[in-house]
Amino acid sequence: MHEELSTLKNQALAGLAEATDAGALEAWRIKYLSRKGGALSEAMKVLGGLPREERPAYGQAANEVKIALEAAFEERQEALKAAALAAELGGGALDVTLPGRPPALGRLHITTQSLRQIYAIYAEMGFQVYDAPDVETDDYNFGWLNIPPYHPARDMWETFWVTQATAGATTEGSPLLVMRTHTSPGQIRVMRERCPEPIRVILPGKCYRYEQVTARSEHQFYQLEGLAVGRGIRLTDLIGTLQQFARRMYGARRRLRVRGSYFPFTEPSIEADMDCILCGGKGCGVCKHTGWLEVAGAGMVHPIVLHNGGYDPDVYSGFAFGMGVERPAMLKYMINDIRYFYGNDLRFLGQFG
């Protein structure tokens, strides 16, 4: 009888040595150690048919075989695991010495960078940033800026009108809406909000014009408006502010000149130019051989506009200016086509910052 147990043990150990993967190992466990139908369980059933005196010795022997097989199984299982890990590490699948893959970092858009430089310069001169909406009523964009309907100056801004007629609604009685053609409508908003406090703000934002897109002109672009309102504000304050800006933005030696101009919302109106950043005023391709580059359209806030903003023009005065953001950045970085700004070409955008 004991011989049968010893044969079973030898057979099982030989079979275990042949199990070389987890599947074979599990099949072996079921074959020999499973409680239901496993070879050892079957061998135990013999116990009941043995003479009483032989039972203890047989039971003990069967138990020893069971313990030996379980220990051998565990040992084999560990050995197979270790072999699998060694194969994985040694087989070249994992090279822990390889450099990591760097995450692709984003950058600030060149327009955002330019705007932040401009904010910083005006912040030091005491200007706060004021946000005004992109969609405006006709009154804000034109009327309250002293450009009534049918005024010929409306031709200065090719306008996108916003259709308000939706299913079931009429446009009657509701104000005409436009995509703002410039940031100047924000002047009225900030004046009405702050009146009668003094004001010193810049108003950045996107503007929209129904224009032919060219290398110099986009149909959407950024402007930055400036507005100062208070008692005793003069044209020289405006010129000094723009001169300071030009020097901080483009170099300490910049010279500024002003020319007379026309905007319906300023009186008098001026254009401010600075000497060319490339040739210093001698004349070159960038300044079209004039020696000068445009900085801003500007002027003293028109009395009608002050009045529309809630300020008494006999007591208060103010200056305003408006400048592009992309065009000055084009000059600074020698970019010859404005369409790159909104082309979403990472080869272009990746060059800045």
User: H or E stretch including 297?
Assistant: strand 292-301
For 39-86, give the DSSP string: HHHHHHHGGGGS-GGGHHHHHHHHHHHHHHHHHHHHHHHHHHHHHHHH
Q: Which is nearer to ligand FA5, 76 or 205 (CB)?
A: 205
Residue whose tokens read 């000059």: 331
Binding to ligand FA5 in span 276-305, by CB under 6 A: 294, 297-299
Q: Check binding of 140 to ligand FA5 (CB under 6 A).
A: no
Residue 24 class from Cβ within 10 Å (0-12 exposed, 13-18 middle, 19+ buried)? Answer: middle
Q: Which residues contact 95 (CB under 8 A, 6 or more apart)?
A: none
Q: Can you state the angle between helices 55-90 and 2-18, rounded to 10 degrees?
A: 10
Strand 199-208 to 128-129 pairing: parallel
Shortest spacing between CB 164 and ligand FA5, in angstroms: 24
Binding to ligand FA5 in span 196-215, by CB under 6 A: 209, 211
Binding to ligand FA5 in span 16-75, by CB under 6 A: none
Q: Which is nearer to ligand FA5, 62 or 318 (CB)?
A: 318
Q: Which is nearer to ligand FA5, 39 or 111 (CB)?
A: 111
User: H or E stretch including 289?
Assistant: none
Q: Which is nearer to ligand FA5, 184 or 275 (CB)?
A: 184
Q: Check binding of 223 to ligand FA5 (CB under 6 A).
A: yes
Residues in the interface with ligand FA5 (CB under 6 A) total 23
Q: Which is nearer to ligand FA5, 31 or 219 (CB)?
A: 219
Which of 130, 144, 250, 263: binder of ligand FA5 (CB under 6 A)? 263
- CA 19/CA 27 separation, integer angstroms: 9
Binding site for ligand FA5 (CB under 6 A): 182, 184, 209, 211, 217-218, 221, 223, 225, 263, 266, 294, 297-299, 320-324, 326-327, 338
